[in-house]
Structure 1
């Protein structure tokens, strides 16, 4: 299968056991096809062969993604390639992802068609615009969509690649709707497509790994009107889960600040 590599060859073998599927080309061409949208689906079919040739990809934890109903997928953010890999992961899990994405993407001619076709959620800067994005996301998850959010809001600015402090938007959506949050970690995407790069590094083939974990337990915090303290607590739980998964994938130990917060600079 394209892009596959045996589990036994992974060093160190830290990824948790369970269903692991390989091959981004296979991932992109798997069901479901319905709901992708014309241009989003076309982009998937165009990118899949390139990804298959340029990466050795591993996906684990698809069993944690609910097969139906609204769900939020919270991922760390290293590169524009993250969206591609999370799309592959979601399709492997039987879901078509909708991305919470910067409004600037809708200004790029070809990309705009992809974003509109895929019914992704536009995020403008500013408080009023953020409220619109929040409402759109709430509507999407209540309609049973799988919505992907990068809680950091942009690529991590840490040279070591660990997550930086996240925004509370995904927590607010989760707490006010009761929508489950699946934590996810991507690793290797920065080498595939650097933050300032426009084209992927096709050769040599890059190793990219995507690992999801169980739904984050936020049940004690769910409320129609979460306080700032509740939002920060929920956000910290989500990012702690993401960081723990990232630790499994890459090894090492994330740095913490004097208050013990993962993702802040020392």
Structure 2
């Protein structure tokens, strides 16, 4: 039931994978996570060459299922980069799990909006100093869109990229909801492993908002562009047109969650 993870990129391309080659706890985690994903799904990575092989960047995936972080982490790790997420601070207070998250450079974030953004920004700056990446789910939580399209985004990811002056790479993934249904933590194993597609995009151009990381209007405009890029990638993966308007939880009586 196992098979290789498929990476589709231009012939002749190479990825140095310095982070992956350096001995660390990531080796142990990868030895667990990669076989699990390989054995339970058929993961296909498209346009892998668009994920920077070196240097710091912000990666912004869409969010369908509670297993998404594992899928994205495996895709990023297989391409030679160590996946570091902004994660809810409450997870870091769980015995053992908290220590494990800190040991591999995950970043705790308190809920409460932009007034607490200094915490992840300080941690993210340290990643930049070492040329590492940080993964931020700009929707802040699982999408509330009934058709699972990206919903209205939060400004944290754009703020990080603008504040730190690093690229923001959009990524869309589709199929994880077949492995772990939406709004559950229950795995659904299939005789035929479900296909999961992960497609990386070109860096989102945020240059017109450079130096405006504390300007709310600029951040909302930048976030709109980020979400449009993710949605366009997802439309390619799903091979169907995206809705004209993005789902806004506030307009449907839904409580917003998330860290940004």
Shorter-chain-normalised TM-score: which range? 0.7 to 0.9
1:62–1:92 CA contact under 8 A, matched in 2: no
SS of 1:97's equivalent in the other structure is coil
Which of the numbers 181, 189, 195 marks the counterpart of 1:194?
181
The aligned residue for residue 257 of structure 2 is none
Question: Deviation digits for residues 175-233 of structure 1, max 9, x if unmatched?
Answer: 12211011000101111112443342222311111000111111222115442221111
Deviation at 1:98, TM superposition (A): 0.8
Which of the numbers 140, 156, 181 marks the counterpart of 2:127?
140
Question: Deviation digits for residues 90-120 of structure 1, max 9, x if unmatched?
Answer: 1233211111111122233343233122110
Q: Could you tell me the TM-score, scaled by structure 1's length? A: 0.81
Aligned-residue Cα RMSD (Å) equals: 2.7
| 1:180 and 2:167 aligned | yes
Deviation at 1:236, TM superposition (A): 1.0
Query: Kindly tell me: are residues 3 and 108 of structure 1, through their superposed partners in 2, closer, same or farther at Cα, counting changes over 3 Å?
Result: farther
The aligned residue for residue 86 of structure 1 is 72
**Bigger CA drift: 162-171 or 247-256?**
247-256
Report runs of 4+ in structure 1 exceeding 3 Å deviation.
1-7, 17-20, 107-110, 127-130, 263-266
Structure 2 CA distance for aligned equivalents of residues 45 and 6 of structure 1: 17
The aligned residue for residue 13 of structure 1 is none
1:3–1:55 CA contact under 8 A, matched in 2: no
The aligned residue for residue 111 of structure 2 is 125
Deviation at 1:75, TM superposition (A): 0.6
Structure 1 CA distance for aligned equivalents of residues 121 and 5 of structure 2: 40
The aligned residue for residue 256 of structure 1 is 244
| 1:43 and 2:43 aligned | no
Which runs of no fewer than 5 residues in structure 2 stay unpaired? 12-16, 252-260
Query: Kindly tell me: are residues 116 and 195 of structure 1, through their superposed partners in 2, closer, same or farther at Cα, counting changes over 3 Å?
Result: farther
Which runs of no fewer than 5 residues in structure 1 stay unpaired? 8-16, 21-28
What is the correspondence of 1:100-119 to structure 2 with a 5 Å cutoff?
100-119=86-105
The aligned residue for residue 164 of structure 1 is 151
Structure 2 CA distance for aligned equivalents of residues 225 and 152 of structure 1: 18
The aligned residue for residue 18 of structure 1 is 9
| 1:228 and 2:216 aligned | yes
Question: Deviation digits for residues 66-109 of structure 1, max 9, x if unmatched?
Answer: 22111110110111221112112212332111111111222333
1:256–1:263 CA contact under 8 A, matched in 2: no
Question: Deviation digits for residues 123-170 of structure 1, max 9, x if unmatched?
Answer: 111255432122222332243111111000111012211011010011
Query: Kindly tell me: are residues 50 and 105 of structure 1, through their superposed partners in 2, closer, same or farther at Cα, counting changes over 3 Å?
Result: same
